[in-house]
Amino acid sequence: MADSKLDLMKGTLDLMVLRTLETMGAMHGYGIARRIEQVSADKVLLNQGTIYAALVRLQNKGWITAEWGESENNRKAKYYAITKTGRKQLAEDTAYWTRLSGVMNRVLAMTDEGESR
Amino acid sequence: MIRVALNRIRAFLGKKTREADLDAEMAAHLDLAIDDNLRRGLSPDEAYRTALVSFGGLEQARERHREARGLPSIDSLLQDLRYAIRTLRRDRGFAVIATLILALGIGANIAVFSVVNTILLRPLPFQGPDRLVWLEGNDGVGGLSDLTYRVDVWEEISRNVRSFQSVAAYVPYYDYSEFKLTGYGEAQSVIGIWVSGNFFPTLGVQPARGRLFSREEIVSGGQPAAILTHAFWQRQFASDPNIIGKRILLNYRPYNVIGILPETFDFGSVFEPGMRSDFFISIPVNTIRNYGHMLAIVGRMKPGVTAQQAQKDARLVLSQSKAQDPNWVSDVKTIAQPLKEHVSGKLQRSLLVLWCGVGMILLIVCVNLANLLLARTASRQREFALRCALGAGSARLMRQMLTESLVLSSAGAVLGLGLAFLTVRYLAHQQSLALPLLSRLTIDSTALGWTVVIAAFTTCAFAVVPALGMLRGNLAQSMNDAGRGMTEGRKNEGLRATLVVSEIALACVLLVGAGLLLRSFLRVTEVDLGFQPSSAAAMRVDYFDGGNRDKRGAVLKEICDRVAALPGVEAVGMSDKLPLDRARSWGLRAKGRVHPPEYNSSAVVSVVTPGYLKAMGIRLLSGRDFTWRDSSTTDKVIIINRAAAEREWPGEDPIGKIAEGIGITDTRVVGVVSDIRESSLESQGSPAVFVPATQAEPDGENIIIRSQLPASALAPSVLRALRERNPDQPAAEFRSLQRLVDRAVSPRRFFMTLVTGFAALGLILASLGIYGVISYSVIRRQREIGVRMALGATTRQVEAGVLSRTLWLALIGILIGIVGSLAVSRGIASLLFATEPTDAIAYSVVIALLGSVALLAGYLPARRAARVDPMIALRAE
């Protein structure tokens, strides 16, 4: 039922979250959202709220775990950490994504030459 | 995948904590963001605002979280359910009517399905029932004596037909089943069936207590033993387990009670519909060896053998035996059919017709509800438009409609199940209904499954139409229009008219079918029976003559005289056989005529006393009745019926002619009576012969009493008169002859009543449909009517307009219905009696009935329309 575009977005956001957790270690939702915004140089228009749907999805799949903890400025926050299966999944998805984007780039380049515009 | 599903279910169940958890997490998120923003030097207000903006919609985030977390479809289903129930509660009238209509439709369907399931679909209640076959002689045509076997033939089949693992037999003659139980207070008339020793093992029936017949008990002359049915054990012996091993006196002879059959075993319901059985005793094989055709046979085939093979096998063996014994004529034409087919095969078509009829009722119900819902959708256009504007997708609205009809169907199904339960329980206890297996009628798990299927079907069927109607509409336009009621009604009008037309057509088909069955039924009851069943009753008489024919004449005469002297008794006679009851037949041949070798000389035999013909109301066409002077020492005489006369002495006066085959010596015909429906009301009279009780051996006698007094008033005085002579006369049942007739037509009456009931229901529903559509369109067009009346249209013109529309709808529906009926009626032709499938009267009555009902259903709204005050109608908007 859902839009195919949204599906892709969903997939990409999950991947970004996994990668962030792998490189940065355990983080809370706000931290992850901020990190993604920073890395993408604010080019991703991310409603920070949507991160929580991705987090619960990954949690249901067993790729990340969650635990309540204290932030550096003494605020209670839920911390997320990547699991072993999460890392494996991330490796697979990264390989897939790299291949896909490579193919996409090539295909799109070809289209550019073919069209007169 | 499983983990995801589990997590989702857990999340769904622990919804409250999850929500709180998420809220806390989001709050923390915002706090962290505000902290960050403050650190970057924003003012507190600005920090808060920016945090909220970059977070996005809080509610949206929650919604997405829920979607990713739990079971969103169930969540919204519950929401839909709550909403549907709330809506329906607001519209109570609609909900109640819809539920009732559905309950009737679904209830009728479950009840009929249970009957079909019990009689046709479920296997017989025996072990390996598909390996049981029923054997009949004479190609399966003729009376009981033609279909049954002699003892030696049964032995031949058991011994030499290799298709069978075992072959069991029982004595199907009612006369042999009546026993007198003494020693327990007043003597009682009880029913015992003679079965072969291997009868229960062949069927695969184990006793609930005790054991089956032992080898010694099977042998003729062995220890007499009886196995009791569960019902008899309960009724007579109060379920006393110690009865096993005791002796009971049956016809003054002691029998050992050796076992109790399981409660589930009902002999009558399978083999002799409508017959009670109290106990089973072993056939005294050698005693009845020379009695003629005595045994009904059931065989258990070896695994892998088909009924056709068994039949071929049996015919081969019997034709070889025929070479040795020329008597085995009819036996060679043995047919073998699966027992199940024998039990319920004849009912198959009737039941299927019934099933179709009830299915049509369901369709009508669905159409009717679709119509009602459509009307509701129309008035709910604004609500739907509003919800659409607030963001509900059309799929969601569709689902809402489906949920509403699901709620209605479920309520209807539950109520219908209750109705069906009552109906089924009532039917299961109808002993006078001669339908097989009826005592096993229950609503089982299959029937429950069927209920679910039906409910699902109705849900979809009557939700789809209004949902379509809704989708076709332009919602924005509805917002504007709905209140004004000008254009909006139009677009669904066509749809509604189509629905009504199909409803009328379906009802028409049902009515025609019911009309044809009803006419057949009336034709059957009008049949000239050859005797007068009203105000006559029969009772089994117990007497003692020591087997002496001379003494018997005196004994019977005294009994007849005593009973005839009672006040209110008009005529008395005795016979060992009653019409429409189980019959035996003997050979009857005109002496001196050469008969072809395979000539069927059988004639139904009754051994009667003088006065029997008068008591039965049988017309004597020529000659005389028997008198008490016809005795063992005088001329042997018989009375025959017209069919017998025409067969043996065509074109001659049979009076005084000599016949052979009845008894050992020749007999002289002294009277001819009119034909009697001996075996069924539908079949023409077959040859019958009456023999005086003083010149042949009766199989026990029934006394037939003609009196204007009701049987219940007569019974005590008759019983007293009989006991003066014989104190052991059991308190036998007093059977009115009308009851015999009623029992014979009971299956036909049953189907006719049900189909007529369905047709009536269909008619009511269809008229409701017409009424609904017409009155709805009148309301919608109130303004238009007001304008027309203001412009000078008369009341009559307005009425005529509405009525003509009604009639058009009815006419189209009837036309389609008649075409459908013509096609359908051919399918029920075999169920009709003396009625053509194109019976003009049935069709014209149905057309007139439907037309007038439609007229009435249209007249009420038409009158309302004509009463419209133009000023009020115009101002109303």
Q: What is the pLDDT of residues B602-645, one digit of tens each?
A: 888 899 999 999 999 999 999 999 999 888 888 899 999 999 99
The chain B residue lying nearest A57, using CA atoms, is B68
Helix (H) or strand (E) holding B590: strand B589-590
The burial class, CB within 10 Å (0-12 / 13-18 / 19+), for A43 is exposed
Q: Which residues of B touch A56 (CB under 8 A)?
A: 11, 65, 68-69
Asked if pLDDT for residue A2 goes beyond 70, the answer is no
**Alpha-carbon gap: A103 to the closest alpha carbon of chain B (Å):** 29
Query: Which region among B102-111, B143-152, B238-247, B301-310 has the lowest average model confidence (pLDDT)?
Result: B143-152
Residue B478: its pLDDT value, please?
54
pLDDT tens for B517-569 read: 899 988 888 888 888 888 898 888 888 777 777 788 888 898 999 999 998 89
Pick the residue with more confidence: B817 or B755?
B817
CA angle B62, B67, B71 (to 5 degrees): 125
d(CA B414, CA B265): 31
The chain A residue lying nearest B57, using CA atoms, is A49
The chain A residue lying nearest B395, using CA atoms, is A1
The burial class, CB within 10 Å (0-12 / 13-18 / 19+), for B64 is buried
- The answer to whether the Cβ–Cβ distance between A77 and B36 falls below 8 Å is no
**Alpha-carbon gap: B469 to the closest alpha carbon of chain A (Å):** 23
DSSP-derived pairing of the beta strands B688-692 and B637-641: antiparallel
d(CA B555, CA B565): 16
Residue B52: its pLDDT value, please?
87
d(CA A18, CA B280): 81
State phi, psi for B388 to the nearest 5 degrees.
-60, -45
**Alpha-carbon gap: A73 to the closest alpha carbon of chain B (Å):** 9
The chain A residue lying nearest B34, using CA atoms, is A30
State phi, psi for B655 to the nearest 5 degrees.
-60, 130
Give B474's pLDDT tier (boundaries 50, 70, 90). low
Give the percent of chain B with pLDDT over 90: 28
Specify the DSSP class assigned to residue B149: B
How many C-beta neighbours within 10 Å does residue B141 have?
Answer: 13
The chain A residue lying nearest B27, using CA atoms, is A77
**Chain A touched by B14 (CB under 8 Å):** no
* A·B CB contacts under 8 A: 81
Pick the residue with more confidence: B357 or B388?
B357
Which residue, among B12, B23, B29, would best test binding to A if mutated, counting the most A CBs under 10 Å from its CB? B29
Tokens 């903890």 found at: A69
The chain A residue lying nearest B67, using CA atoms, is A53
pLDDT tens for A60-92 read: 888 999 888 887 778 888 899 999 999 999 999
Residue A6: its pLDDT value, please?
37
Supply the mean pLDDT for chain B. 85
- Out of A34, A53, A76, the one facing B28 most closely (by C-beta) is A76
For helices B92-116 and B445-472, the axis angle rounded to 10 degrees is 140
Mean pLDDT of B378-398: 72
**Alpha-carbon gap: A45 to the closest alpha carbon of chain B (Å):** 9
How many C-beta neighbours within 10 Å does residue B445 have?
Answer: 7
**Alpha-carbon gap: B426 to the closest alpha carbon of chain A (Å):** 51
**Chain A touched by B8 (CB under 8 Å):** yes
d(CA B116, CA B524): 25
pLDDT tens for B753-799 read: 888 888 898 898 888 888 887 887 787 777 788 888 888 888 888 88
Q: Which residues of A touch B14 (CB under 8 A)?
A: none
- Out of A1, A60, A77, the one facing B8 most closely (by C-beta) is A60
The burial class, CB within 10 Å (0-12 / 13-18 / 19+), for B639 is buried
Give B876's pLDDT tier (boundaries 50, 70, 90). low
Query: Which region among B138-152, B457-471, B651-665 has the lowest average model confidence (pLDDT)?
Result: B457-471
How many C-beta neighbours within 10 Å does residue B392 have?
Answer: 14
State phi, psi for A81 to the nearest 5 degrees.
-135, 145
B307 touches B337 (CB < 8 A): yes
**Chain A touched by B247 (CB under 8 Å):** no
The chain B residue lying nearest A74, using CA atoms, is B32
- The answer to whether the Cβ–Cβ distance between A77 and B25 falls below 8 Å is yes
B69: its two tokens: 């977390």
Q: What is the ipTM of this complex?
A: 0.81
**Chain A touched by B216 (CB under 8 Å):** no
- Out of A49, A50, A77, the one facing B28 most closely (by C-beta) is A77
The burial class, CB within 10 Å (0-12 / 13-18 / 19+), for B89 is exposed
Which residues 23-62 of B have a C-beta within 8 angstroms of A? Answer: 24-26, 28-29, 31-33, 35-36, 54-58, 60-61
Residue B97: its pLDDT value, please?
86
**Alpha-carbon gap: B5 to the closest alpha carbon of chain A (Å):** 8
Helix (H) or strand (E) holding B248: strand B247-250
The pTM (predicted TM-score) of the whole model is 0.74
- Out of B21, B31, B58, the one facing A75 most closely (by C-beta) is B31
CA angle B863, B868, B871 (to 5 degrees): 170
Pick the residue with more confidence: B503 or B684?
B503
d(CA B404, CA B457): 14
- The answer to whether the Cβ–Cβ distance between A47 and B67 falls below 8 Å is no
B728: its two tokens: 């052991």
**Alpha-carbon gap: A46 to the closest alpha carbon of chain B (Å):** 8
- The answer to whether the Cβ–Cβ distance between B35 and A48 falls below 8 Å is no
Mean pLDDT of B44-69: 82
According to DSSP, the residues that pair with B637 across neighbouring strands are B668
- The answer to whether the Cβ–Cβ distance between B4 and A49 falls below 8 Å is no
Which of B320, B416, B517 shows the shortest CA–CA distance to B109? Answer: B416
The chain A residue lying nearest B2, using CA atoms, is A61
B600 touches B515 (CB < 8 A): no
Residue B387: its pLDDT value, please?
73
Residue A1: its pLDDT value, please?
36
- Out of A47, A61, A77, the one facing B32 most closely (by C-beta) is A77
d(CA B410, CA B452): 9
Mean pLDDT of A99-114: 79
Mean pLDDT of B444-470: 83
Which residues 380-409 of B have a C-beta within 8 angstroms of A? Answer: 395
**Chain A touched by B830 (CB under 8 Å):** no
A99: its two tokens: 């291949």
What string of DSSP letters covers B264-303? Answer: T--HHHHHSTT----EEEE--TTTTTTS-S-BEEEEEEPT
Specify the DSSP class assigned to residue B794: -
SS3 B702: strand
B668: its two tokens: 């002289």
Which of B546, B578, B571, B541 shows the shortest CA–CA distance to B556? Answer: B541
Give the percent of chain B with pLDDT over 70: 94
d(CA A47, CA B865): 60
SS3 A44: coil
How many C-beta neighbours within 10 Å does residue B537 have?
Answer: 27
- The answer to whether the Cβ–Cβ distance between B69 and A31 falls below 8 Å is no
Q: Mark out chain A residues that contact chain B at CB-CB < 8 A.
A: 1, 28-31, 33-34, 47-50, 52-54, 56-57, 59-62, 71, 73, 75-78
Q: Which residues of A touch B69 (CB under 8 A)?
A: 53, 56, 60
Asked if pLDDT for residue B488 goes beyond 50, the answer is no
DSSP-derived pairing of the beta strands B688-692 and B602-608: parallel
B758 touches B360 (CB < 8 A): yes
The chain B residue lying nearest A77, using CA atoms, is B28
A111: its two tokens: 């289209």
Q: Which residues of A touch B3 (CB under 8 A)?
A: 60-62
How many C-beta neighbours within 10 Å does residue B199 have?
Answer: 23
pLDDT tens for B735-766 read: 888 888 888 888 888 888 888 888 898 898 88
Give A10's pLDDT tier (boundaries 50, 70, 90). low
